[in-house]
């Protein structure tokens, strides 16, 4: 197994790419590619980086995924804090890069317009708080089921990044109108502070509920399949 420094380096750059590719597509190109294009962009970021660095770190790129894999018996508790710190920092750096690019356009204002996650009046289609949070729990839980199943030692080798990337694409196709799709606290944190206002006040929701869903998904798969550590 690679050293912890190599693994958190892979998580840092993987999460950087996820936020840069996914949120960057929404902020810089959303009006041209639409929600379907943004959904595909998020899936492609995970697919490409999972092939690039998955053999180094396991390609979590998401604090909820790390916690879900721990709950499912696939990840060591001692590595949770360094992984999560690397993921959050990588996401924040990507958010900063997007901000520097986006504000290079005359008249652009990131406040309320920076691909942040929200519910209620901050939801893209004004979904109420409870349906939005249910959506985050269910989507993240299903994401963990796909991740754990696709990476199970009994699954076909080499295809896990494709299944995981397509799952994230599908999740975004379903839930962008509801919460702008988090399922990833690092992704939410990366852009909330640039969007400001209610998006900062609601950020805690996009830590708590994806983590609840991920732990639930990890525990469910642990009952269904293999629980061998990575």
Q: What is the pLDDT of residue 225?
A: 76
Judge contact between 179 and 41, C-beta under 8 A. Answer: no
Low-confidence ranges of the chain (pLDDT < 50): 227, 230
How confident is the model at residue 226, as a pLDDT?
A: 55
Extract the tokens encoding 199: 């998006």
Q: How far is CA 182 from CA 40, 79, 144, in A?
A: 15, 23, 14
Q: Which two tokens stand for residue 137?
A: 């729990």
pLDDT given for residue 69 in this prediction: 98
The neighbour count for residue 95, using CB atoms within 10 Å, is 29
List the alpha helices (DSSP H) in 58-121: 63-71, 80-102
* CATH class assigned to 4-224: mainly alpha
Give which of 89, 90, 135, 91 is closest to 114, Cα–Cα.
91
Q: Is 154 helix (H, G, I), strand (E, B) or coil?
A: coil
Global pTM? Answer: 0.95
Count of other CB atoms within 10 angstroms of residue 59: 25
- The pLDDT score that the predictor gives to residue 151 is 95
If you ran DSSP here, which 8-state letter would residue 156 be given? P
Q: How far apart are CA 153 and CA 139, in angstroms?
A: 24
CA separation for the pair 46, 190 (Å, rounded) = 16
Cβ(177)–Cβ(93) under 8 Å?
no
The 3-state DSSP class for residue 180 equals coil
106 conformational bin, left if phi > 0, alpha if psi -120 to 50, beta if neither: beta
Dist. CA 223–CA 205, nearest whole Å: 27
């Amino acid at each position: 197994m690679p050293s912890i420094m190599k693994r958190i380096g892979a998580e840092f750059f993987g999460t950087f790419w996820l936020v840069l590719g996914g949120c960057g597509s929404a902020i810089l190109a959303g009006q041209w590619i639409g929600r379907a294009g943004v959904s595909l962009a998020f899936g492609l970021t995970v697919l490409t980086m999972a092939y690039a660095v998955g053999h180094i770190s396991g390609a979590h790129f998401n604090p909820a995924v790390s916690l879900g894999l721990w709950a499912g018996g696939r990840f060591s508790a001692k590595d949770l804090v360094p992984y999560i710190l690397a993921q959050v920092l990588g996401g924040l750096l990507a958010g900063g890069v997007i901000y520097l690019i986006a504000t290079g356009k005359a008249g652009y204002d990131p406040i309320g317009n920076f691909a942040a996650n929200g519910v209620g009046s901050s939801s893209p289609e004004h979904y109420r708080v409870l349906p939005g949070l249910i959506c985050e729990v269910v989507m993240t839980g299903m994401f963990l089921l796909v991740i754990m199943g696709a990476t199970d030692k009994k699954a076909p080798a080499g295809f896990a990044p494709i299944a995981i990337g397509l799952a994230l694409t599908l999740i975004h196709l379903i839930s962008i109108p509801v919460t702008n799709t988090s399922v990833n606290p690092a992704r939410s944190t990366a852009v909330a502070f640039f969007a400001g206002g209610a998006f900062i006040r609601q950020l805690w929701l996009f830590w708590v509920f994806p983590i609840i869903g991920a732990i639930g998904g990890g525990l469910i798969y642990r009952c269904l399949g293999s629980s061998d550590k990575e």
